[in-house]
Amino acid sequence: MSCQSDLSCRAGCGACCIAPSIASPLPGMPQGKPAGQPCVQLLPDMRCAVFGQPGRPAFCGGLRPSAEMCGDSREAALHWLTRLEILTAPAIVAA
């Protein structure tokens, strides 16, 4: 089953610019972005300032709105993406 859809981003959401970590460099965040921290490129109206620009990380371009990911509210999207971040985080190995 494909998660691809024709949904558009929810106005005023920004969940995908907050919840996930981004391991690759992005404009203004050369070390990437930790999970739960808003991206420096997230505008006050919750839109991405580098959307469609060459400096935008491939990770961001790969995120596509879907009913599963976005749910029926911004809070649902934040919850779903935060849970996905936790489930896919690398295991920490004790030394």
- Domain spans of the chain, in order of start: 15-88
What distances in angstroms separate CA 93 from CA 20, 31, 32, 90, one per listed residue?
21, 22, 22, 9
21-80 residue pLDDT tens? 999 999 999 999 999 999 999 999 999 999 888 888 998 888 888 999 999 999 999 999
Per-residue pLDDT at 2: 37
What is this structure's pTM?
0.81
Residue-level length of the chain: 95
